[in-house]
Structure 1
Amino acid sequence: MSVPTRPSLRDLRSLTQARIALGAHGAGLPTAAALAFGLDHARAREAVWTPLDTDAIREALTAHGLDSVEVRSNATDRAEYLRRPDRGRTVNPESEAALDGAGCDLAIVIADGLSATAVALNAVPMAAALAERANRAGWRLAPVVVATQARVALGDPVGARLKARAVAVLIGERPGLSASDSLGCYITFAPEPGLPDSRRNCISNIRQDGLSIEAAAGQMEALLRAMFVQNVSGVGLRRDEGALPGPEAA
């Protein structure tokens, strides 16, 4: 009877983008591994510091038949945004007039977050896929809000101003050294300023080599349906009531 061989770390390299089995050259890394690390580090810095091209985002939304408005947070520039996360959670007073709404079921916010790269690549297709599902469900949509220097919690005052039943914030996630293009979605029922993070549900790693746009849209729709049945989001959302997706939905 043959004994199955255990896979080596080198065998596992094809299954992950994590840095494993890089090898060694003396006391350091091989040249190829060192150069790859430097490139990924540069990509991560670029993702954080590159300004979001809001005009391009809004033009792409228009091409998908989606109206949009633009707002900014109270962080005056990127340096302050990184030093003062609190200012990225509130809407600049000059932007508030663009958010007056008569009420809607869902507000979609595209926020630069910590990766403009992720937003540029994934946010518009994600917003379009979610909007298509929302329209099929008969949910009223607000114009898509494009927000700069924005943190996740900016969706709370935005959703409150738009009188939205729920808000979905599509935001660039903190880049790592294996992925700088990951988009996250944070969904909150009954948004209002000052909510804790425990009131949100998160879907992360939306990108080409992660969770697909279509799979993420399906999970978002299921979460929203469950929220509208249970009138709650976050840790209070129950899997045995409504249509909350299980792990197999990924």
Structure 2
Amino acid sequence: MYQQIVILTGAGISAESGLRTFRDQDGLWEEHKIEEVATPEGYEKNPQLVEQFYNERWQQFHNGCIEPNAGHDALAKLEREFEGKLLVVTQNIDDLHERAGSKRLLHMHGELSKGRCPRSRQTFLLREPFGPDHTCTCCIPAQRLRPHVVWFGEMPIGLDRIQHALDSCDLFIAIGTSGTVYPAAGFVDTANHHGAQTVDINLMPADRHSQFQYHLQGKASELLPKLVEQILQGKVINDQMLVG
């Protein structure tokens, strides 16, 4: 039985719920230059454009058509029933994990549902799209809130907590992430170094340079429910374990 599990989720798990990804061939970056909508400099130059960009994402999340899929549900079930320690780290800024019921969750790239005070870094829940009237209540004078999203050139959130969890985990699972962007790309090396089993779940075939011990190719919504059941039954992942 595993004692401590760390799970990293990327754009792939949200894509199965109908959310477009940032890096796919038809991804959002093709409609906007990265430096215009995903850097501090772009925000300083044109905050209205950046707010519009994230407001379009906000509207997509709240149009009633986007719901958690079976992969999100499986991870929420694992949290409810797993007797050891569990941390889900997500690179996604949507709230699909929360909607599925996950609570032991860390958004390393921020959350679209929140705004952040640029002075105090305090966050505030947003119940409507960004606008000039969204200001903080922690400063005098009140500061205009910026999207609570980690942009290029900024440090991801919670790295110390993630590192601590990776140092002591015995199972690390990455789901729907390219594994090419640091620091997240280095998580598997840390887990391997400390003797954890490492598993990659992805639509794409395993890269020949992959550091993961096991690779499961397919949809997270199909593979995760089966894998979670096996973990909850106390089974240890091995080459003979049939998943899929």
Q: Larger radius of gyration, structure 1 or 2?
A: 1
**Fold-level similarity (TM above 0.5):** no
Q: Report the structure, 1 or 2, having the larger helix content.
A: 1
The alignment's TM-score, normalised by the length of structure 1, stands at 0.31
